[in-house]
């Protein structure tokens, strides 16, 4: 799969959670073909392996329901902001997200 630039942050080499150097990417939308779309659209966060999967559950992104829900919300908001910057209205951006990703986190 071709790696794309993320649209959520301008700092791809810094872990979004702790500031350590990045070793991984966390896709904010995932499951089946959704992850492929998220990669294409750059809906991902840079993170270190510790904050991504190795820390205890309450201090990592994976397997932490609150962190995963917030990840999905931030991914949708970043996608919509990017779409508006390219000329869509906010309402059209929200509808386009719903169609592309089969739903909404908001």
pLDDT (tens digit per residue) in 74-99: 999 999 999 999 999 999 999 999 99
Instruction: Classify burial at 10, counting beta carbons within 10 Å of its beta carbon; exposed 0-12, middle 13-18, buried 19 or more.
Output: exposed
Q: Where residue 47 falls among pLDDT bands split at 50, 70, 90?
A: very high
Query: In which residue are the tokens 């966390």 written?
Result: 26
Among 26, 4, 7, which Cα is nearest to 16's?
Answer: 26
Across 30-34, 40-44, 71-75, 80-84, the highest mean pLDDT is recorded for: 80-84
Q: In this model, does residue 9 exceed pLDDT 50? A: yes
Contact 6, 40 (CB under 8 A): no
For the chain, the average pLDDT equals: 90
């Amino acid at each position: 799969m071709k790696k794309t630039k993320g649209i959520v942050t301008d700092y791809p080499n810094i872990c979004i959670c702790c500031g350590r150097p990045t070793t991984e990417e966390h896709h904010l939308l995932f499951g089946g073909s959704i992850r492929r779309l998220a990669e294409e659209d750059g809906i991902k966060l840079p993170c270190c392996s510790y904050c991504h999967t190795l820390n205890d559950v309450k201090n990592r992104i994976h397997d932490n329901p609150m962190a995963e829900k917030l990840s999905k919300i931030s991914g949708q908001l970043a996608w919509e902001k990017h779409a508006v910057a390219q000329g869509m209205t906010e309402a059209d951006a929200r509808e386009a997200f719903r169609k592309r990703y089969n739903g909404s986190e908001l």
